[in-house]
Amino acid sequence: MRKFGIIHSRYWNWALEKGLDETSKVLGAYLLSCEHGNSLGCFRCSQAYAADDLGYPIDTVSIGYEKLAKNDFLIFCEKSRFVLIPKYLRWNPFQNKNHAKGTLKLINEIPSSFTLAANLIESMEKYSGKFLDKKQISEAKETLSHTVSKPYPIDYRDKDKDKDKENIKKTNKKKSDLSDRTRAPDDEFDFYASFEYRIISKIIASIQELDMNCKVPEGEEALKKWAVHVDRLNRLDKRTEEQIEFVVDWVVKDPFWKKNIRSAEKLREKFDQLVANIQSERKLRGGTGQGRVEQNKQACNDFVSEMLSEADHGSEQS
């Protein structure tokens, strides 16, 4: 998770020349500077991510993506939910050889469902500058080809190791019955595009924000060990993906809990307690945001009425 992104002043002139509406302008600026982005200009950022971060309706974001795509600002991969900004490296070139070398490693994070490999390579060849030679470009092309051609297995879903085996069988039967409509076959499963990976990535980013030297899982196999606990939280504990992600988003912003939830296993262990804390916090703050607004309005009205009443009473006495 990056801390900042650069938006050149030229961007606003370009947006004006293209006649972009205000929403599309903001969406483009968001993609250039959001926490999901990276120095390659190729990263996972679905319409749902952007809608949640910006507070826009998802339909508005989808229309914005289409407008930006028509103006060659981005290419969106529907299958992997990855955004590619083709000219990103033109405006954010490599600063040195180490920067270029580090950026090339990001290719390993691109999932097998990514369909824009040729566009990405073209962008790198055109804008890599003096810090990448032909050999490195060739190696990057080979790595990208290897990365996007091999699907990740689904073996981290430990269907036979959990204590509640009967529950697992029922859950798996239900998934099997719906497999044609709701999930891809196991041989097409992409771990790096999965819900479980998204959740553990948020936890890891929160940990590293507090301490960059803290040990966190690295590599596919280590990450899958964490993913097991997210999968169990969903399948066995009957927590929906929306509930899990909502709680995690709350945790990584809470000063106390972000220091204490330092693994997916701990998240599952403390989940009920976290839900109770969120509920208590809402009660203390007066319910939902809209409810608090109405309460504040009423409190202001009562205060004004009281002050006017006192003023009237004082004038009668005088």
> For residues 203 and 311, what is the distance between their CA atoms, to the nearest angstrom?
56
On whether residue 297 sits in a domain, the answer given is no
Q: What is the pLDDT of residue 214?
A: 84
On whether residue 4 sits in a domain, the answer given is no
Residue 157 phi/psi, 5-degree rounding, is -80, 90
Same domain, 129 and 169: no
Instruction: Give the pLDDT band (50/70/90) at residue 308.
Output: low
> For residues 204 and 157, what is the distance between their CA atoms, to the nearest angstrom?
20
- List the structure tokens of 98: 């180490």
Distance of alpha carbon 220 from the chain centroid: 19
As a whole-number percent, the residues of the chain with pLDDT over 70 amount to: 75
- Owning domain of residue 139: 10-149
> For residues 56 and 63, what is the distance between their CA atoms, to the nearest angstrom?
11
Could you give the 3-state DSSP secondary structure of residue 268? helix
Same domain, 98 and 186: no
Same domain, 219 and 107: no
User: What residues form DSSP beta bridges with 44?
Assistant: 82
- The domain total for the chain is 2
Same domain, 37 and 140: yes
Record the pTM. Answer: 0.50
For 136-168, write each residue's pLDDT tens digit. Answer: 888 877 777 655 444 333 344 444 444 444 554
Q: What is the pLDDT of residue 111?
A: 82
> For residues 26 and 73, what is the distance between their CA atoms, to the nearest angstrom?
13
On whether residue 236 sits in a domain, the answer given is yes
> For residues 35 and 249, what is the distance between their CA atoms, to the nearest angstrom?
14
Same domain, 92 and 177: no
CA-based end-to-end distance of the chain: 66
For 70-90, write each residue's pLDDT tens digit. Answer: 999 999 999 888 999 999 999
Same domain, 103 and 229: no
On whether residue 304 sits in a domain, the answer given is no
Q: What is the pLDDT of residue 306?
A: 59
Same domain, 248 and 195: yes
Of the candidates 228, 253, 269, which is a domain's last residue? 269
Residue 76 host element (H or E): strand 75-77
